[in-house]
């Protein structure tokens, strides 16, 4: 990124652009090299202006939420990392006419657990599973996030997106292609918000369910150390990834300060100053061992971005 490009970004985003910003400051893994430019956009018009300019200049844009489910390599990210704020952090509530539920519109920058609490406080069922998910609505939609047998796709009505040319569109549920931990979208599409339909339920029953879910999560997941959440997808028709890794005897396996959690084998934790290269080495060792023991190819669920550091 040359000085002319940096000047354009500074002119348009002022204090809301950071150059050579270390990504480890922004990810739940506390790992990652610098990004060329990190920009916080607050309106659709700002995003439209940015994506059109970046497409013309050939600068890739990576949308960035809460930094969970993400491993940024030690060499950092070339191009632009885009964060969404202000109008993209709003939740709008619309009761249904018959009083049986509501439609919620949540900006892509809303924290998923915040959305879950918003629904819980209003006695709306269908989002309790999100209370333990450390991400944003945009990321949850793109990953079709889920837990406890439920997922985002179960309640979505539509999403609002912008493409690389600055065109904005609303896409209805019947046009969305959800699958396990995935939503297929055209390359470089940015999610702006999602509309969700929820039903009314007994508020106290929902609260008790949420307490049980959170208690189980605290017991079974290594929440006291930095991580990116589940590292591998659960293979179809097989035991869960964590169970396979555990049975392969890999709990506690370390490379540098990255470690396979002794609490939940599908988590890799950062014990202090772990590098992305340490995590990548662990991922490869896990995949190799599990395949040799069980004949199962584990596919990463964590998103890996950026480039390796030069030696």
Is residue 76 located within the same domain as residue 103?
no
- For 140-168, give one letter per residue: b (16+ CB within 10 A) or e: bbbbbbbeeeebbbebbebbbbbbbebee
* Distance (Å, whole) CA 115 – CA 169: 23
pLDDT at 192: 97
Is residue 197 located within the same domain as residue 106?
yes
Is residue 202 located within the same domain as residue 260?
no
Q: Which residues contact 23 (CB under 8 A, 6 or more apart)?
A: 31, 32, 33, 34, 35, 67, 72, 76, 77, 81, 306
Establish if 37 belongs to a structural domain.
Answer: yes
Is residue 151 located within the same domain as residue 109?
yes
Is residue 93 located within the same domain as residue 195?
yes
Asked whether the CA dihedral 279, 283, 286, 292 is positive or negative, the reply is negative
Is residue 93 located within the same domain as residue 202?
yes
Look at the block and give the residue holding tokens 């900006």. 107
Phi, psi of 111 (to 5 degrees): -65, 135
pLDDT at 311: 54
Which of 84, 119, 137 is the last residue in one of the domains? 84
Catalytic residues: 181, 230, 301
Closest of 114, 111, 137 to residue 190, by C-alpha? 137
Pairing of strands 168-172, 156-162: antiparallel
Establish if 305 belongs to a structural domain.
Answer: no
User: How many Cβ atoms from other residues are within 10 Å of residue 251's Cβ?
Assistant: 16
Q: What is the CATH number of the domain that holds 262?
A: 3.90.78.10
Establish if 264 belongs to a structural domain.
Answer: yes
Is residue 10 located within the same domain as residue 50?
yes
Q: Which residues pair with 177 in a beta bridge?
A: 184
pLDDT at 296: 96
pLDDT at 161: 97
Look at the block and give the residue holding tokens 């930095």. 226
The tens-digit pLDDT sequence of the chain (311 residues) is 899 999 999 999 999 999 999 999 999 999 999 999 999 999 999 999 999 999 999 999 999 999 999 999 999 999 999 999 999 999 999 887 566 789 999 999 999 999 999 999 999 999 999 988 889 999 999 999 888 888 999 999 999 999 999 999 999 999 999 988 889 999 899 999 999 999 999 999 999 999 998 888 888 888 889 999 999 999 988 899 999 999 999 999 999 999 999 999 999 999 999 999 999 999 999 999 999 999 999 999 999 999 998 75
Whole-model pTM over 0.85: yes
14-15-20-23 Cα dihedral, nearest 10 degrees: -130
Establish if 310 belongs to a structural domain.
Answer: no
Establish if 217 belongs to a structural domain.
Answer: no
3-state secondary structure of 129: helix
Is residue 121 located within the same domain as residue 180?
yes
Establish if 95 belongs to a structural domain.
Answer: yes
Phi, psi of 234 (to 5 degrees): -75, 120
Is residue 29 located within the same domain as residue 119?
no
CA distances from residue 248 to 185, 240, 261, 296, 301 in whole angstroms, order as listed: 36, 13, 14, 12, 19
Count of residues for the chain? 311
Cβ distance 101 to 115 under 8 Å? no
Is residue 169 located within the same domain as residue 228?
no
* Distance (Å, whole) CA 216 – CA 222: 12
Cβ distance 29 to 70 under 8 Å? yes
* Distance (Å, whole) CA 300 – CA 277: 15
* Distance (Å, whole) CA 162 – CA 181: 21
Residue-number span of the structural domain to which 38 is assigned: 3-84
Q: What is the CATH number of the domain that holds 108?
A: 3.30.465.10
Which of 49, 84, 119 is the last residue in one of the domains? 84
pLDDT at 223: 86
R_g over Cα of the chain: 20
* Distance (Å, whole) CA 289 – CA 92: 48
* Distance (Å, whole) CA 85 – CA 82: 10
The total domain count for the chain is 3
159-180-60-7 Cα dihedral, nearest 10 degrees: 50
Cα 241 from chain centre: 19
Establish if 307 belongs to a structural domain.
Answer: no
Which of 153, 174, 208 is the last residue in one of the domains? 208
DSSP single-letter state for residue 111: B
Establish if 216 belongs to a structural domain.
Answer: no
Is residue 165 located within the same domain as residue 181?
yes
Is residue 97 located within the same domain as residue 197?
yes
């Amino acid at each position: 990124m040359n000085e002319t490009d940096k000047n354009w970004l500074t002119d348009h985003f002022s204090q809301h652009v950071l150059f050579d910003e270390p990504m480890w400051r922004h990810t739940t893994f506390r790992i990652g090299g610098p990004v060329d430019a990190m920009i916080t956009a607050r309106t659709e018009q700002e995003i439209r202006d940015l994506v059109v300019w970046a497409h013309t200049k050939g600068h890739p844009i990576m949308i960035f939420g809460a930094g969970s489910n993400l491993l940024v390599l030690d060499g950092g990210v070339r191009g632009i990392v885009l964060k969404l704020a202000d109008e993209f952090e709003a939740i709008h509530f619309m009761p249904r006419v018959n009083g049986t539920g509501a439609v919620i519109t949540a900006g892509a920058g809303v924290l998923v657990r915040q959305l879950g609490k918003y629904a819980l406080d209003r006695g709306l069922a269908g989002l309790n599973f999100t209370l333990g998910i450390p991400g944003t609505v945009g990321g949850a939609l793109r990953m079709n996030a889920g837990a406890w047998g439920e997922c985002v796709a179960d309640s979505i009505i539509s999403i609002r997106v912008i493409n690389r040319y600055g065109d904005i569109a609303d896409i209805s549920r019947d046009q969305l292609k959800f699958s396990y931990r995935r939503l297929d979208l055209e390359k470089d599409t940015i999610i702006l918000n999602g509309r969700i339909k929820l039903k009314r339920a007994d508020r106290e029953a929902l609260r008790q369910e949420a307490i049980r879910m959170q208690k189980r999560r605290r017991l079974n997941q290594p929440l006291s150390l930095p991580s990116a959440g589940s590292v591998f997808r659960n293979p179809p028709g097989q035991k869960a990834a964590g169970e396979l890794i555990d049975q392969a005897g890999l709990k506690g396996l370390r490379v540098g300060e990255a470690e396979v959690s002794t609490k939940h084998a599908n988590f890799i934790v950062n014990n202090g100053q772990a590098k992305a290269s340490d995590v990548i080495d662990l991922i490869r060792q896990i995949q190799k061992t599990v395949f040799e023991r069980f004949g199962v190819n584990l596919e990463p669920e964590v998103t890996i971005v950026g480039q390796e550091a030069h030696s």
